[in-house]
Amino acid sequence: MGVCDYERLGAFFYTGWGLAMAVMSRLAERDRFTSVARQMSNWVDQVLGPNYHRFGVSEAWVPCVNVYEDQDHYCVIVDMAGVDPEQISLKIEASQLVISGVRESPGLPDAVGSIRVHLMEIDHGPFNRRIDLPDDADGDEIQANYRAGFLWIRLPKRA
């Protein structure tokens, strides 16, 4: 580009403006949808009452995982706060570690009468988490224990 190549510069600004307009159009579309969704949600609240709480399929929870490796092992740590260890299943399927189970909804143990939910952020229900394993992980020698709300899974490396 020379000192001032107006033709290219004009094309650049035109393209940039067109992109900006496209993005603004998409945002306006999303805002319209969000507004309709909000109105529908308010309507459902009015019809079903304030104690009704909705969950969608997309809101299914998946426990958080950390995966570490040392010289001899892989270690998978899974956040399982509130999950009964008897409700956890571990298996190896097609080179994946599959962790599944259920976390029950925490409730008030001494509640009297009906309960009104003001805020619900603790995920609950069934979960299924799949973690791809490296080729040298030995799934036959898997060890796991549950302590302090975390599931600790240890997989040795094959020699």
121 pLDDT above the threshold of 50: yes
Pairing mode, strands 73-79 and 88-93: unpaired
Q: pLDDT, tens digit, for every residue of 132-152?
A: 999 999 999 999 999 999 999
Residue extents of the structural domains in the chain: 1-49, 59-156
Does the reported pTM lie above 0.75?
no
Q: Measured between alpha carbons, how far is 40 from 45 in angstroms, rounded to an integer?
A: 9
Provide the 3-class DSSP secondary structure of residue 111: coil
Q: Which CATH class is domain 59-156?
A: mainly beta
115 pLDDT above the threshold of 50: yes
Q: In what order do the strands lie in the sheet with 65-69?
A: 65-69, 73-79, 150-156, 143-147
CB atoms within 10 A of CB 125: 12
